[in-house]
Structure formats: C-alpha cells, structure tokens
C-alpha cells in the first residue's frame, strides 16, 4: 500500500470547473473544491474585463450620461438610462411632468418584455426542457420558441418606436425625451400587445408547470417599492427583513466590496454582512398586490404559493412580470396624450448631487452623481443588480452543492449553471461571470 495515499478511499478529491458559464450575458466561471461529501470552497470568478465607466464619466457633460451608461449593458440599456436620468434630475432639482413619467414607464415595460422573453425562452427554458440552447429546443418545441421570439420582438418593436432602436435607444434625456411618440403610432401596436398579453398568460402556465428542484433558502428579498404601482422608476427601497428607506440611504444600508477573484464588486448588507436577493422573484414577493389585474390573477392561480423562496421559480416570476408589462403597456397606450413639451429646459444648471434606484429587469439598479456648476460630472457611482446578487449566488451554491456532490462532474457543473441562470446574471453589467472548476479531495 502506498504511503503517499493518505486519503481514505471514501473521500476522493474532486474539483468541478466550469470555464465559461453559458447563456448568460458576459463572462464568468465557477470553481468548486470538495473532500468527499464536504464542500471546501466555492468561488464565482468574474473575469469580464473592467471598463471603468465610473472613472471616465468624470468630466463629461451631464446630458451625455444616459447615452454613455446605456453602453454598460446591451440587454438592459433603458434601465441604465432610467437610473441615470432620475439621479441627475434629483441632482438638478428637476421634476418632469406626469406624461413624461408615464412614457418612461412605457419604455421600461418594453425593456422588461424583451429582456424577460429573451431570458425565459432563449436562455432558461432549455434548462428545464433538457436542451443546450433554444436553437436545439426549436427542433422539438417549434411553437414555444416561435412564441418566445414573437413576445421578444413586440417588446423590441415598442422600444424602436419610442427610441429609434431596441439596443441603446436615442430618445431618453435628462429632463424628459428628445422626442415623444405620436399617439396614433403607439396605437398601431395595440393588437400586438393584446396578443402578447395572452401569450404571456400562456407562458405563465407553461413555466409554472416545469419541475422545480426542492430548494428554498432563507432569503432577504430587496426591491424598489411605490405605494400605488408595481416598482419601476421609483422610489423607496424595501426588503423582506424590514428595510424601508429612501434611495439616499441606499449606501448606508448596502455596501459593495472588492473580492480577489472578481472584476465585479460584491454587495452585502452593512449591518449583518449578509447577502440579499434582487430581481423578479424579489419584486414579485414584495409587491404582488400591485400587479395589474390579469397578471395578479395569473400569479394567484398558477399553482405557486407566494412569497416563494425557490430561486428556480424565478422564471415564473419573470413570466408574471412579462404579463404585467404587456398589460400595463396596453393601459398606458390607451391613456396616452402627447405632452405639450417633451422635456424640461436645462440650459441653466447648478452644482448638485443626486441618486436614484430603479428596477432593471434583473433587479435594483442604483446610481449616484455629483455635478459641478458647469454641468460636468465630478463623481459617479453605479451599483448594478448582478453585483448585488453575486454573494447570494455563492451562498446558494454552498447550500445546493452538498445535495448533488455524489453526481458525475458534468452533471454537477450543469446543475450549478442552472442554479446561477435563475439570477439571469448580467456579467457585462456587473463588471466593475462563469467557468466551473470543481476540486474534489
């Protein structure tokens, strides 16, 4: 018997490594090390290269900011435009009128629709139905894939109508819009939006019928909250553990820290140091009574008990939110009156500081800016939803992995990827995501 072999046969060293996480936005990997059934190390490696937005925004004119921050993410540019215009308007002491507010909600509905349809049908449904991609899935489920593509396309059409193009639309500015849509043009989308509402209700039934792993950690859910409406652009920040603060207090309650394995910063609660959960599941759990009537009915009758602590049911929350976005878009378009002026006059500016949190498709997106009396940015801070979820993803992996460590490594890797995809991580956004590596000892 070899003296070198000090490891009992029952405790094989194992490592699982996912070099590149797939069907996520951006680049990251995962490293797991286990000794027998004892998990020793779990690391999300974020190697998406840093792009330094907060650094090069300094010195730029405030009105350039929404166009620049849009480029943080090609999937959710509207979210970056919305958080930046609200934060900058707070800094400048400007409050656009009610028509602008409703148009911004309509634009956000369009982005939620295209982003949620993309994630549900093209990125995550293949996990539940056992395919490597929606393209492979299309061979056996052509109707579902075609439905997903059309749902996504209608969201993009609405973005194009309001902003000229679906990715990095050009209409949003601090103070309002460069140009507002014509009522008659929006009404042309009415029939498509009605189709989308019904197809979204079908989507809720489809995804609520998926088989979900039995997994329900004790999460703290965090979202934006508004007294009268499902959260999008404003305004307080609440949690399932009793947080209820103005955006100005965000940084006092939640902090980012820099960990060695990552070009993304990871967020935690300041007081407890613990992780928290942002995104559709958090929003739905905290704001279900604010859903539009048909979305609410779908949530109450889909067979899932809310609040849900099962992250795999995030796909159902996403489908319910897509329903909500279609339903609200219809109601906004029906009520829409073209405003007399599309934006506030901001030719005279003063120095100021302001912050805002809005709900990106993936969760809370916080921005804070300081501008000088020339209107130039002196300081910028951006906290994307995915960096707030990283610590929670790692905590999930610590809880989830022990139950599956006896499986073959490719299966473990796939299960970890499936778990992480629940969060619809956007690594491009948060870098400032996944290769799996598992070491078994």
Which residues lie near other proteins (CB under 8 A)?
20-27, 47-52, 54-56, 58, 60-61, 64, 67-68, 71-75, 77, 118, 122, 126, 132-136, 138, 142, 145-146, 149-150, 152-153, 156, 164-168, 170-171, 173, 178-179, 257-260, 262-263, 265, 414, 417, 426, 428, 432
CA angle (271 as vertex; 39, 32 as ends), nearest 5: 15
Cβ 131 to other proteins, closest distance in Å? Answer: 9
- Residue 70 CB, shortest distance to other proteins, in Å, is 8
Toward other proteins, which CB reaches closer, 22 or 272? 22
> To the nearest whole angstrom, how small is the minimum distance from the Cβ of residue 164 to other proteins?
4
The tally of CA atoms less than 13 A away on the side-chain side of residue 287 is 34
Query: Which residue, 13 or 270, has its beta carbon nearer to other proteins?
Result: 270
From CA 1, how far away is CA 51, in angstroms rounded?
Answer: 54
Which CB sits closer to other proteins, 62 or 336? 62
What number of other Cβ atoms are within 10 A of residue 234's Cβ? 18
Phi-psi bin for 9: left (phi > 0), alpha (psi -120 to 50), beta? alpha
Nearest 5°: CA angle at 285, between 281 and 392?
45
Q: Of 220 and 378, which CB lies nearer to other proteins in the complex structure?
A: 378
In the bound complex, what is the minimum distance in angstroms from residue 417's beta carbon to other proteins? 7
CB atoms < 10 A from the CB of 351, how many?
14
Question: Apex CA 20: angle with CA 14 and CA 25, to 5°?
Answer: 140
In whole angstroms, give the CA distance from residue 306 to residue 216: 12
C-alpha to C-alpha distance for 203 and 192, rounded to whole angstroms: 16
- Rg over alpha carbons for the chain, rounded to the nearest Å, is 22
Compare residues 234 and 424 and give the one whose CB is closer to other proteins.
424
Cβ proximity to other proteins: between 138 and 405 the closer is: 138
Q: Taking the complex as a whole, how short is the minimal distance between the CB of residue 402 and other proteins, in angstroms?
A: 24
Residue with Cβ nearer other proteins (263 or 323): 263
Q: Which is nearer to other proteins, 156 or 239 (CB)?
A: 156
For other proteins, the closer CB: 73 or 298: 73
Task: Give yes or no for a contact between 381 and 388, defined as CB atoms under 8 angstroms apart.
Answer: no
Written as six digits, the tokens of 368 are 């804070």
Task: Kindly give, in sequence order, each residue whose CB lies less than 8 Å from that of residue 325, ignoring residues fewer than 6 positions away.
Answer: 109, 110, 112, 113, 116, 155
Q: Minimum Å distance from CB 248 to other proteins?
A: 22
Rounded CA separation 121/101 (Å): 30
CB of 216 to other proteins, least distance (A): 26
What gap in Å lies between CA 33 and CA 17, rounded to an integer?
A: 9
- For 53, other C-beta atoms within 10 Å of its C-beta total 17
Q: Smallest distance, Å, CB 42 to other proteins? A: 18
Q: How far is the CB of 146 from other proteins (least distance, A)?
A: 8
DSSP three-state, residue 41: strand
Residue appearing with tokens 């900011």: 65
Quote the CA–CA distance of 73 and 80 in Å, as a whole number: 8
Cβ 78 vs Cβ 159: under 8 Å: yes
- Of the two residues 316 and 426, which places its CB atom closer to other proteins in the complex? 426
Q: In angstroms, what is the minimal distance from the CB of 410 to other proteins?
A: 11
């Amino acid at each position: 018997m070899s003296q070198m072999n000090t490891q009992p046969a029952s405790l094989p060293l194992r490592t699982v490594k996912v070099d590149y996480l797939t069907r996520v936005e951006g680049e990251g990997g995962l490293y797991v090390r286990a000794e027998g059934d004892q998990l020793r190390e779990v690391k999300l490696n974020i190697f998406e290269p840093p792009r330094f937005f907060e650094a090069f925004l300094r010195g730029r004119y405030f009105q350039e900011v929404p166009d620049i921050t849009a480029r943080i993410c090609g999937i959710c540019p509207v979210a970056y435009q919305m958080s930046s215009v609200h934060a900058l308007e707070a800094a400048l002491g400007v409050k656009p009128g009610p028509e602008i507010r409703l148009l911004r909600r309509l634009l956000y509905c369009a982005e939620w629709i295209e982003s949620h349809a993309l994630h549900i049908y093209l990125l995550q449904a293949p996990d539940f139905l056992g395919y490597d991609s929606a393209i492979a899935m299309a061979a056996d489920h052509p109707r579902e894939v075609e439905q997903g593509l059309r749902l996504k396309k209608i969201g993009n059409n609405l973005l194009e109508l309001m902003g000229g193009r679906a990715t990095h639309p050009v209409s949003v500015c601090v103070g309002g819009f460069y140009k507002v849509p014509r009522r008659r043009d929006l009404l042309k989308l009415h029939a498509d939006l009605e189709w989308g509402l019904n197809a979204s209700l079908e989507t809720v039934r489809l995804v609520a019928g998926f088989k979900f792993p039995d997994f329900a950690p004790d999460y703290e859910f965090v979202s934006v909250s508004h007294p009268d409406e499902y959260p999008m652009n404003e305004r307080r920040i609440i949690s399932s553990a009793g947080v209820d603060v103005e955006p100005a207090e965000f940084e006092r309650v939640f902090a980012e820290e820099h960990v060695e394995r990552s070009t993304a910063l990871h967020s935690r609660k300041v007081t407890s140091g613990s992780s928290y959960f942002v995104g559709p599941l958090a929003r739905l759990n905290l704001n279900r009574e604010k859903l539009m009537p048909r979305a609410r009915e779908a949530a109450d009758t889909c067979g899932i008990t809310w609040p849900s602590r099962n992250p795999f049911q995030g796909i159902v929350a996403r489908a319910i939110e897509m329903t909500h976005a279609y339903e609200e878009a219809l109601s906004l378009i029906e009520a829409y009156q073209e405003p007399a002026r599309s934006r506030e006059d901001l030719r005279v500016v003063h120095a100021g500081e302001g912050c805002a949190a809005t709900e990106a498709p993936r969760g809370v997106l916080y921005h804070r800016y300081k501008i000088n009396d020339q209107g130039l940015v002196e300081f910028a801070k951006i906290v994307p939803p995915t960096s707030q979820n990283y610590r929670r993803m790692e905590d999930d992996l610590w809880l989830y992995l022990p139950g599956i460590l006896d499986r073959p490594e490719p299966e473990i890797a796939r299960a970890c990827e499936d778990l992480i995809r629940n969060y619809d991580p956007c690594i491009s956004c948060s870098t400032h995501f996944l290769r799996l590596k598992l070491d078994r000892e």
